[in-house]
């Protein structure tokens, strides 16, 4: 395959193809006081062999992290553990990962994918929430997310708040950056008012500064997350100031869908280009 923008930029976003690559980058982040949120790339998996590979890879990953004393969490996509086949398949495999991660003392994030999976993803998370160290991602660009946030917060769930990386129709999603930011702030305020533990996942320095300021009054268990390769100098600065910070760290061979999605986000492209020169 020739050199493409996706392949060039994927090198900044992705640790590499193997668990060993993820562990190496995680170790480097840990030295800077930053936790790695490790994701094994793959989504919309529909064959049993690929799904089983994904599950076994997460189980191997948490065992390796425990052996190496690596500070990581994991981020699992529902459609890589069976949701594309059915809810029972997803439950069975999610439970296997939760049990392995819990034994290793590692927190599991359930990622959010496109709109058609939102209900099942939330139901999957809430199905076993009280028995595991687990959280769920919510996307501020979806108009329904405030209601979802209230439901999850009422169930004492842990939320990672992102702006969103998928494309949806205007009837179900906000398309303007100003609208997404307005909803993100609304959801962030709700978290400060109604949740004890949550994560603000954004590269928006103004949003992060607002969260830091609010937390001086609220004293919540607050953490921040950013993508590998974007604004990581700022992530290190936050960590040096005593903030809890995690870097989303994908690895694996299935990098192309992830790279395309990131390239479609104009805000990430501008941030990435700027930080290539900054860093």
- Say how many domains are in the chain: 1
CATH classification of the domain holding 217: 3.20.20.220
Q: Report pLDDT digits (tens) over 122-164.
A: 999 999 876 679 999 999 999 999 999 999 999 999 999 999 8
- Res 265: pLDDT: 56
Tokens of 259: 């790279």
Angle at 76 between CA 115 and CA 265, to 5 degrees: 50
Q: Report pLDDT digits (tens) over 213-223.
A: 999 999 999 99
Q: 58 lies in which domain range? A: 5-278
Q: How far from 92 is each of 52, 78, 83, 121, 191, CA to CA, in Å?
A: 11, 12, 10, 14, 30
- Res 259: pLDDT: 62
- Res 147: pLDDT: 98
239 contact partners, CB below 8 Å, separation of at least 6? 32, 33, 34, 245
| Over residues 8-14, mean pLDDT | 67
- Res 253: pLDDT: 85
- Res 128: pLDDT: 83
116 burial via Cβ count (<10 Å: 0-12, 13-18, 19+): exposed
C-beta of residue 276 within 8 angstroms of C-beta of residue 65: no
Whole-model pTM: value is 0.90
The percent of residues above 70 in pLDDT, for the chain, comes to 86
Q: Report pLDDT digits (tens) over 106-115.
A: 999 999 999 9
pLDDT tier for residue 10 given thresholds of 50, 70 and 90: low
Tokens of 121: 């993803």
């Amino acid at each position: 395959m020739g050199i493409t923008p996706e392949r060039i930029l994927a090198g900044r976003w992705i640790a590499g193809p193997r668990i060993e690559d993820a562990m190496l980058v995680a170790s480097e982040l840990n030295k800077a006081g930053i936790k790695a949120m490790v994701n094994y790339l793959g989504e919309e998996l529909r064959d049993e062999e690929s799904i089983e590979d994904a599950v076994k890879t997460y189980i191997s990953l948490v065992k390796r992290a425990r052996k190496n004393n690596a500070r990581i969490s994991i981020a699992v996509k529902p459609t890589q553990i069976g949701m594309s086949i059915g809810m029972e398949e997803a439950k069975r495999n999610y439970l296997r990962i939760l049990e392995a991660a819990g034994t290793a003392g590692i927190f599991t994030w359930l990622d959010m994918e496109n709109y058609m999976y939102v209900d099942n993803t939330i139901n999957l998370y809430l199905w076993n929430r009280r028995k595991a160290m687990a959280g769920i991602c919510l996307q501020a660009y979806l108009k329904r997310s405030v209601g979802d946030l209230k439901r999850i917060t009422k169930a004492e769930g842990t939320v990672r708040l992102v702006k969103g990386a998928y494309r949806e129709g205007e009837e179900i999603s906000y398309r303007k950056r100003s609208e997404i930011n307005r909803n993100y702030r609304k959801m962030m305020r709700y978290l400060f008012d109604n949740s004890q533990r949550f994560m603000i996942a954004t590269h928006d320095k103004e949003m992060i500064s607002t969260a830091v300021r609010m937390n001086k009054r609220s004293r919540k268990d607050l953490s921040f997350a950013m993508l590998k390769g974007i604004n990581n100098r700022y992530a290190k600065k936050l960590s040096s100031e005593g903030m809890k910070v995690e870097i989303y760290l994908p690895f694996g061979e299935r990098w192309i869908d992830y790279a395309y999605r990131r390239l479609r986000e104009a805000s990430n492209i501008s941030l990435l280009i700027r930080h290539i020169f900054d860093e």
